[in-house]
């Protein structure tokens, strides 16, 4: 029964295709061609599939929670449109010559939404909270590296690290600063504050109806100034097909869509194109095929490279993402400085694959399968219940069969997948994903010391040079030197081929055209980056009873 639920989308999409246009309001259409001045007010309704668990991001850990909390709270620093560090609560920051101490100068005259002053005490409090052993947060480790933190006055916050730590600034972009005066006597693990937060960003919580919607309204004390749109309502609609119906019926303004809706439904529906704008931008993650490097035959680099040559990434992008993705050659987002543009993905070349496998000792047997010392090249691809990953595995299986590799596929529920296979190392090949994080540090994923159960180098990758580079990269705060380090790291990683980069998919959004001010093409930081600057012209607004 549950399985049906997961499969549901498959049934719905053809259905959406079949449904023919609904009545269109012509005046609405023509309105969209006008240009509008920025206007204040209005309400933006979006849909999300899950309910936030709580609005204290350091404890929550789910994406729905952080999506809402990001509108309410600020960090010391933020990323600007082109993904450079920019001031937020801190107006400036200064790194000492030995690269171990960072001094943040806090902006003066900042207030919490309840009118209290926001000072370095709150920053100190937030740091203490995240590193407190009683706080149930998974994100403490980055902040525990701070050996000493101090606040010489109300507008200065100084942290000193044991050793220089290059990702430090990145960590200060993600730690939400929480108000000390409301939380100091509370148990952060169960406090009511998480359902009724007081922050400092553009919006504050208006009401939260469990399982139904979270509404935000403008915070008049916002430290970033005033957003144009007055209310943000996030409706919780678990099923994406229902979300899509709500979008077409004009009941919601914004949702994430899938490649089929983007490439198949919208092009065939003029009425939808007229009222809904589509946006695509590179997403924040990539999908890979990872080898268990502790196991035969994957401990042989030639076999890994051969399999990499034998997989056609463009075919997967076309088949699984309907072309809405990009191949990768490093674990970094194309277009950012960390991505080494000299590197090219392994092209699809079955002859080179076969040549490499022959070199590794594999010969075709009578059944057309590759064999070495009487053992057929045969393995199992393991993945979790994720439609795109399953389809990817099938395409890989077919390509590998062509060169004589016998592949089977096994799809497992997430918790079993992690506990019975990943943690125990009992797998051949996995199809999984990693995020394309903004900081290039990948120590936890690729350093040879990170192989314990529950750690993230579960593939068992070991390369001395990579270890050195990862260690150096963590210590180097000079951006251009750091860039060189990670370019070399990506180069070695691509050549070693412990994983086959399959694709990085686009994030696809559909936004009603009544919402104006969206940047196109989307900046590197994504279309939502300037959402505070979006506006909804009065004439295009819905009838809103409660609009103020």
Scan residues 369-408 and list those touching other proteins (CB under 8 A): 384
Query: Binders of other proteins among 440-469, rule CB under 8 A?
Result: 442, 444-445, 452-456
Q: Which residue of 29, 39, 239, 462 would you call a contact of other proteins, by CB under 8 A?
A: 239
Helices (H), 259-310: 259-260, 270-275, 301-310
Pairing of strands 378-384, 406-412: parallel
Task: Name the nearest CA neighbour of 470 among 447, 493, 494.
Answer: 447
Contact region with other proteins (CB under 8 A), list: 106-114, 211-219, 497-505, 528-536: 211-219
Question: Which span sits near other proteins by CB under 8 A: 9-17, 387-395, 463-471, 510-518?
Answer: 9-17
Cα–Cα distances in Å, from 32 out to 274, 445, 512, 520, 522?
8, 47, 10, 16, 20
Q: What contacts 320, CB < 8 A, 6 or more positions away?
A: 259, 388, 391, 392, 395, 503
State which residue, 348 or 456, has the beta carbon closest to other proteins.
456
Interatomic CA distance for residues 114 and 200, integer angstroms: 9
Q: Which listed residue (42, 44, 45, 459) binds other proteins by CB under 8 A?
A: 45
- Least Cβ distance, residue 383 to other proteins (angstroms): 12
Taking the complex as a whole, the smallest distance from the CB of residue 140 to other proteins amounts, in Å, to: 6
The secondary structure of the chain in percent helix, strand, coil, rounded to multiples of 5, reads: 35, 20, 45
Q: Please identify which residue in 367, 415, 464, 548 interacts with other proteins, judged by CB under 8 A.
A: 415
Start-to-end CA distance of the chain, whole Å, equals 45
Of 72, 78, 54, the closest CA to residue 64 belongs to 54
Q: How far is the CB of 28 from other proteins (least distance, A)?
A: 14
Contact 266, 280 (CB under 8 A): no
- When asked if residue 220 is in the footprint of other proteins (CB under 8 A), the reply is no
CB of 93 to other proteins, least distance (A): 21
Give the residue, chosen from 34, 184, 226, 238, that forms a contact with other proteins under the rule CB under 8 A. 238
Residues in 242-301 that interact with other proteins by CB under 8 A: 242, 245-246, 248-249, 251
Q: Does the footprint of other proteins cover residue 544 (CB under 8 A)? A: yes
- Does position 140 interact with other proteins (CB under 8 A)? The reply is yes
Cα 26 to Cα 94, 330, 358, 536, distances in angstroms: 56, 48, 66, 19
Nearer to other proteins, 222 or 392 (CB): 392
CB contact at 8 A, 511 and 70: no
Task: Give which of 49, 62, 51 is closest to 8, Cα–Cα.
Answer: 49
Distances, alpha carbon 70 to alpha carbons 160, 192, 440, in Å: 27, 18, 22
Task: Give 242's contacts (C-beta < 8 A, 6+ positions apart).
Answer: none
Cβ at position 395, least distance to other proteins in Å: 23
Instruction: Tell me whether residue 19 or residue 82 sits nearer to other proteins (CB atom).
Output: 19
548 binds other proteins (CB under 8 A): no
The residue with tokens 């049906």 is 4
Please name which of 45, 47, 25 lies closest in space to residue 244, comparing C-alpha atoms: 47
When asked if residue 416 is in the footprint of other proteins (CB under 8 A), the reply is: yes
Instruction: Compute the least distance from the CB of residue 385 to other proteins, in Å.
Output: 10
Stretch of residues binding other proteins (CB under 8 A), selected from 16-24, 84-92, 105-113, 374-382: 16-24
Distance CA 266, CA 88 (A): 38
Pick 211 or 374: Cβ nearer other proteins: 211
Q: Identify the bridge partners of residue 512 per DSSP, sorted by sequence position.
A: 276
Does 23 interact with other proteins (rule: CB under 8 A)?
yes
Task: Report the nearest approach of other proteins to the CB of residue 290 (Å).
Answer: 13
- Work out how close the CB of 414 gets to other proteins at its nearest, in angstroms, rounded to a whole number: 5
- Regarding 148 and contact with other proteins (CB under 8 A), the answer is no
Candidates 31, 241, 256, 397; binder of other proteins (CB under 8 A) is: 241
Q: Name which of residues 330 to 369 contact other proteins (CB under 8 A).
A: none
Q: Which of 50, 20, 510, 29 is nearest to 261 (CA)?
A: 510
Considering only 24, 34, 84, 190, the residue that binds other proteins (CB under 8 A) is: 190
How many CB atoms are closer than 10 A to CB 293? 20
User: According to CB under 8 A, which one of 88, 122, 142, 476 is a site residue for other proteins?
Assistant: 142
The angle at the Cα of 14, spanning 49 to 63, to the nearest 5 degrees, equals 15
CB of 271 to other proteins, least distance (A): 11
Residues binding other proteins: number (CB under 8 A): 75
Q: Is 136 in the site for other proteins (CB under 8 A)?
A: yes
What's the closest the beta carbon of residue 211 comes to other proteins, in angstroms? 2
Minimum distance from residue 66 beta carbon to other proteins (Å) = 10
- Shortest Cβ distance from residue 13 to other proteins (Å)? 11
Residue 523's SS3 state is coil
């Amino acid at each position: 029964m549950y399985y049906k639920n997961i499969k549901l989308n498959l049934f719905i999409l053809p259905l959406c295709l079949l449904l023919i246009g609904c009545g269109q309001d012509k005046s609405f259409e023509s309105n969209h061609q006008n240009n509008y001045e920025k206007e204040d007010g209005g309400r933006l309704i979006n849909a999300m599939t899950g309910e936030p668990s709580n609005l204290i991001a350091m404890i929550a850990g789910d994406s729905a929670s952080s999506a809402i909390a990001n509108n309410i709270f600020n960090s010391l620093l933020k990323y600007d449109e082109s993904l450079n560090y920019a001031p937020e609560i801190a107006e400036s920051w200064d790194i000492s010559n030995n690269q171990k101490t960072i001094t943040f100068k806090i902006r003066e005259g900042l207030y919490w939404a309840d009118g209290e002053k926001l000072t370095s005490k709150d920053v100190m409090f937030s740091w203490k909270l995240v590193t407190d052993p009683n706080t149930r947060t998974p994100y403490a480790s980055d902040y525990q590296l701070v050996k000493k933190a101090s606040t010489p006055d109300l507008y200065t916050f100084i942290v000193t690290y044991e050793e220089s730590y290059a990702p430090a600034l990145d960590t200060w972009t993600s730690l939400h600063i929480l108000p000390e005066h409301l939380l100091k006597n509370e148990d952060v693990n169960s406090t009511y504050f998480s359902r009724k937060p007081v922050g400092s960003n553009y919006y504050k919580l208006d009401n939260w109806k469990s399982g139904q919607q979270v509404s935000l309204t403008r915070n008049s004390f916002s430290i970033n100034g005033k957003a144009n749109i007055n209310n943000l309502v996030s409706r919780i609609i678990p099923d994406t097909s229902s979300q899509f119906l709500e979008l077409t019926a004009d009941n919601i303004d914004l949702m994430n869509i899938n490649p089929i809706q983007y490439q198949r439904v919208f092009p065939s529906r003029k009425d939808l194109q007229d009222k809904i704008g589509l946006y695509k931008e590179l997403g924040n993650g990539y999908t890979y095929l990872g080898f268990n490097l502790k196991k035969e035959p994957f401990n042989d680099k030639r076999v890994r490279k051969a399999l990499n040559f034998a997989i056609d990434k463009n075919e997967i992008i076309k088949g699984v993402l309907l072309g809405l993705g990009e191949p990768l050659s490093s674990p970094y987002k194309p277009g950012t400085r960390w991505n080494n543009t000299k590197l090219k993905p392994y092209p699809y070349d079955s002859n080179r694959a076969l040549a490499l496998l022959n070199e590794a000792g594999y010969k075709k047997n009578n059944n057309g399968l590759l064999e070495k010392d009487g053992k057929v090249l045969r393995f199992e691809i393991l993945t979790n219940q994720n439609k795109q990953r399953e389809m990817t595995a099938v395409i890989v299986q077919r390509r590998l069969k062509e060169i004589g590799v016998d592949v089977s596929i096994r799809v497992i529920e997430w918790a079993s997948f992690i506990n019975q296979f990943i943690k125990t190392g009992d797998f051949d090949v996995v199809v999984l994903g990693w995020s394309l994080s903004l900081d290039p540090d990948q120590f936890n994923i690729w350093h040879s010391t990170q192989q314990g159960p529950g750690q993230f180098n579960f593939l068992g990758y070991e390369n001395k040079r990579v270890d050195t580079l990862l260690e150096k990269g963590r210590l180097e705060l000079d951006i251009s030197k750091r860039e060189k380090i990670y370019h070399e790291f990506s180069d070695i990683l691509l050549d070693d081929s412990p994983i086959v980069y399959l694709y990085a998919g686009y994030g696809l959004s559909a936004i009603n055209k009544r919402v104006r001010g969206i940047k196109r093409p989307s900046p590197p930081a994504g279309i939502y980056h300037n959402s505070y600057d979006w506006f909804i012209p009065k004439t295009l607004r819905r009838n809103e009873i409660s609009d103020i």
